[in-house]
Amino acid sequence: MNNVNASIIIVLALIYGLAASAWAAERVPVFVSIPPQSYFVQQIGKDLVDVHVLVKPGADPHTYEPKPQQMVALSKAVLYFAIGIEFETAKLAKITALNPRIHVVHTDHGVMKLAMDAHGHQNMKDKREEDHHQGSLDPHIWLSPPMVMLQARSILTALQAVDPAHRSTYEANYRAFILDLVDLDAQLRAIFDGLKGSPFMVFHPSWGTFAHAYGLNQVPIQIEGKSPKPAQLKELIERALSNRVRIIFVQPQFSSRSAEQISKAIGGRVAVVDPLAQDWANNLRQVAEEFKNAFK
């Protein structure tokens, strides 16, 4: 065990030591930011945890505002698993002010995110610090099974600290989850075997981390978070034609108007893929098949 994990365990045990015995009789109340995280926590916590998702399915995490009833539930939670997405920066201070005893666990700690330019393209160089000259860091680390393995360790450490009575159960669940992740990663690599460098076009650049993990090339329509201007739209259409792109992928949280314009111009179609689906593993398998079909 490294010093960071050991320190987390000691601090959390001190904070929640008096309440720890209560978790033997009831589930540990925790919050996560987005639905896929709920899947991760449930795999490790099973029926020992009561997981609440802040950003509900179909909502845009970039602009989400917590509902009053969610704030009430947050006041009773002991853990908040953050993942490093934009809205957390503004909301976490409000959450900790509401509930000073809640411990925020940054599950993206130690995860090397990809640098992303203004057009949503990765520069294929891992970075720990945001470089404002080159762009920002891609926050979509839940779409890469290898990165989820790192997040899972942070989840395990936190749950064991607040509920030491079930430490061995969490450990066993964690090990089983890691094996599932290894198996899923192998399945996805098999799906994309021989397709290295293949381009796929998406409206919002959510799939760059996924693309990097499996050797694909994400071509986003959105530029700096905005729909393309006419000249940019023309360039995207030309790029789609030159790369024989026939499917434009969109996610349900954003408008598909620009994607529909491009698909009409190239004689293609629009397909919906959701990076925020709660049934995380099956969703990645289905998305992988969609991407593979787009390359045919």
Please report, as a single letter, which amino acid is at residue 17.
Answer: G
Q: What is the second-level CATH architecture of the domain 3-188?
A: 3-Layer(aba) Sandwich (3.40)
The contacts of residue 90 (CB under 8 Å, 6+ apart) are none
Contact 137, 127 (CB under 8 A): yes
Q: Is 117 exposed, middle or buried (0-12, 13-18, 19+ CB in 10 A)?
A: middle
Query: How many Å apart are CA 274 and CA 295, to the nearest integer?
Result: 19
Number of residues that make up the chain: 296
Fold match, 3-188 / 195-294 = yes
Cα separations (Å) of 195 from 85, 155, 183?
Answer: 30, 34, 20
Q: What is the pLDDT of residue 224?
A: 67
Q: What is the pLDDT of residue 16?
A: 47
- The verdict on domain 195-294 having CATH code 3.40.1180.10 is no
Residue 199 Ramachandran class (φ > 0 left, ψ -120 to 50 alpha, else beta):
beta
Q: Are 162 and 16 in contact (CB under 8 A)?
A: yes
- pTM across the whole model: 0.83
Please give the backbone phi and psi of residue 262, each rounded to the nearest 5 degrees, phi first: -70, -45
Domain ranges of the chain: 3-188, 195-294
φ, ψ (nearest 5 deg) of residue 59: -90, 155
Q: Answer for the pair 48, 166: CB distance below 8 angstroms, yes or no.
A: yes
Element containing residue 106 per DSSP (H, E)? strand 103-106
* CA 13, chain centre distance (Å): 28
Per-residue pLDDT of the chain (296 residues; tens, 9 = 90+): 555 555 554 545 444 444 444 444 589 999 999 999 999 999 999 999 999 999 887 777 767 778 888 888 999 999 999 999 888 887 898 899 999 999 999 999 999 999 876 444 544 343 333 333 335 889 999 999 999 999 999 999 999 999 999 999 999 999 999 999 999 999 999 999 999 999 898 888 899 999 999 999 998 887 766 778 888 888 888 888 888 888 889 888 766 788 888 888 888 888 889 999 999 999 999 999 999 988 87
